[in-house]
Amino acid sequence: MMDTLNYLSFHGIILYNRESDGCLNGIYTNNNINGLIFNEIARRTAGVDNSIQGDYVCSYIDNGNVLHGATLTITEINPTLNRTYKFLWKDAKSQPIFEGIGFIMNKKQIAVYYKKA
């Protein structure tokens, strides 16, 4: 379980739209970017049909319009409910960058809280 929300530590939120091809198109903010909102695109590389769980290659834009690449793995937390998920982003060296927890809000949107891994 994640630590209690601490405004001195890094944390953020991302809202994904699930596209018809299974890819995720997200907008995010965190407490390190002064209230700005940026984009993330996650293209699915492997996964379970009709589920968001699986592996993705993603790109996100951050402060200074810097483009970052990462991999994202999404796994179900409780398979019987099929609604809450664990998110793990890794860098090019397979080192964890961020981890999060999210839920499907409707059939097309996923809300995620994340922090540094």
Give tens-digit pLDDT for 3-48.
444 456 899 999 999 998 889 999 999 998 888 999 999 999 987 7
* Residue-range definition of the domain harbouring residue 96: 11-116
Q: Is the pTM of this model over 0.85?
A: yes
Tell whether 41 is covered by a domain. Answer: yes
Tell whether 1 is covered by a domain. Answer: no
**Total number of domains in the chain:** 1
In angstroms, rounded to a whole number, what is the distance separating the alpha carbons of residues 96 and 106? 28
Tell whether 6 is covered by a domain. Answer: no
% the chain with pLDDT above 90: 66
Tell whether 16 is covered by a domain. Answer: yes
Q: How confident is the model at residue 2 (pLDDT cuts 50, 70, 90)?
A: very low
Tell whether 5 is covered by a domain. Answer: no
Give the pLDDT of residue 34.
83
Tell whether 59 is covered by a domain. Answer: yes
User: What does the mean pLDDT of the chain come to?
Assistant: 89
In angstroms, rounded to a whole number, what is the distance separating the alpha carbons of residues 104 and 113? 12
Tell whether 75 is covered by a domain. Answer: yes
Give the pLDDT of residue 8.
65
In angstroms, rounded to a whole number, what is the distance separating the alpha carbons of residues 36 and 28? 8
In angstroms, rounded to a whole number, what is the distance separating the alpha carbons of residues 103 and 109? 9
Task: Look at residue 49 and tell me whether its pLDDT is greater than 80.
Answer: no
Tell whether 4 is covered by a domain. Answer: no
